[in-house]
Amino acid sequence: MKSSSELIIELSNTKFVLKNDGTFRISGSLPTQDEIYELAMNYSLPINEKLFDMVYELLKAEDLTSVKKKVENFFKSKLHKDVKVIYSEEGSQMDIQNNYASLPIVSKNSGDLGMITLQGSLMLDEVLGLLAFYDSFVSIVEGIIINYRLEQLLKSSLDTLFVALNKRVRLNKGDLDRMEAIASKIAQLEQLSQEEVRLALRIANVGFVGLRDELFERIFTGDFTNEDYREFLKHVDFGYEILKEMDVPHFILDACVYHHEFVDGSGITGLKGYEIPKIALAVGFAEHVVILKWDVSRLQGKYPDTYLAVIDSRGELQ
């Protein structure tokens, strides 16, 4: 359909409104690559096939953050444009105009994978190029998005596990928050990844499942014997037996196995000083302060002085 100021094209379930002033709107369902090329031939519309080169960059992406950066960098370096990329897990219908392109990510194998939006100045030939190679884009990011969703599910499950296991030690939310804050502070001191320390803290004590409830009651009150403490330490072995059969990152296994080591060599395996993974020290320090309620005098010599400096005499962050 034509008018003096615009061209309206309806292609399957996709509507193209192309105006003489260069503005446009494309909405409805995603067109196929064949439909885009048919449209281009029938109406003499150019397709910017530079967009196909983005495939080579996206193949190097490891996660959603790098996908977004590679798309933004591609537009900057190849098309000399500043484009911001936003990913949303909530899908919707396609809507494209001169200043943004919202595209649903739909896979034949995995279904609705969310929505990607490009914000910035866009030309029609660039949009047609993007739509023409969009199937390739989806096939590349499909696995990345699925891994992202699994990672979010895992983090949610770990949060639940962390709370459930530590309830056995009679810890409340305030205690758990304090333990996480202490571990986070040590991570900052040691220049460790905050996210890795957070995950390690949630998994290191998975071996608690093998301990008796009455032991936790004595641990909580502080009225436990040396024999109780030795039995408590068995959660390290229990945790290792659970995690060794799983494909967990090495830093998590380190945190589980070595979080009851001390810099003076008096821990379970006798490792000392720099032999102990720093992530294990961070997790262990937080645990000894909050769960075992060790005061500064008992922690002295077991952990670096810089660790002791972050807490007061009550085990609270300074």
* pLDDT, tens digit (0-9, with 9 covering 90-100), for 220-243: 777 888 899 899 999 999 989 888
Position 3 confidence tier, pLDDT thresholds 50, 70, 90: low
Burial of 298 (0-12, 13-18, 19+ CB in 10 A): exposed
pLDDT of 199 > 70? The answer is yes
Q: Identify the bridge partners of residue 88 per DSSP, sorted by sequence position.
A: 115
- Other Cβ atoms closer than 10 A to 223: 9
Q: What is the mean pLDDT of residues 83-108?
A: 90
What is the per-residue pLDDT for 164?
Answer: 74
Q: What is the mean pLDDT of residues 17-40?
A: 92
Position 4 confidence tier, pLDDT thresholds 50, 70, 90: low
Select the CATH number that applies to the domain covering 6-141 from these four: 1.25.40, 2.60.40, 2.30.30, 3.30.450.
3.30.450
Position 142 confidence tier, pLDDT thresholds 50, 70, 90: confident
- Answer for the pair 231, 211: CB distance below 8 angstroms, yes or no: yes
Angle between helices 278-290 and 173-190 (to 10 degrees): 150
Mean pLDDT of the chain: 88
Position 261 confidence tier, pLDDT thresholds 50, 70, 90: very high
What is the per-residue pLDDT for 60?
Answer: 87
Q: What is the mean pLDDT of residues 194-213?
A: 88
What is the location of CATH 3.30.450 in the chain?
6-141
User: Domain 169-308: which topology?
Assistant: Hypothetical protein af1432 (1.10.3210)
271-288 tens-digit pLDDT: 999 999 999 999 999 999
Burial of 256 (0-12, 13-18, 19+ CB in 10 A): buried
Measure the CA angle with vertex 230, ends 173 and 163; round to 5°.
Answer: 15
Which carries the bigger pLDDT value, residue 138 or residue 5?
Answer: 138
Residue % of the chain over a pLDDT of 70:
97
What is the per-residue pLDDT for 217?
Answer: 82
pLDDT of 110 > 70? The answer is yes
Which carries the bigger pLDDT value, residue 317 or residue 42?
Answer: 42
Phi, psi of 81 (to 5 degrees): -135, 145
What is the per-residue pLDDT for 224?
Answer: 85
Query: How much is the pTM?
Result: 0.56
What is the location of CATH 1.10.3210.10 in the chain?
169-308
What is the per-residue pLDDT for 150?
Answer: 65
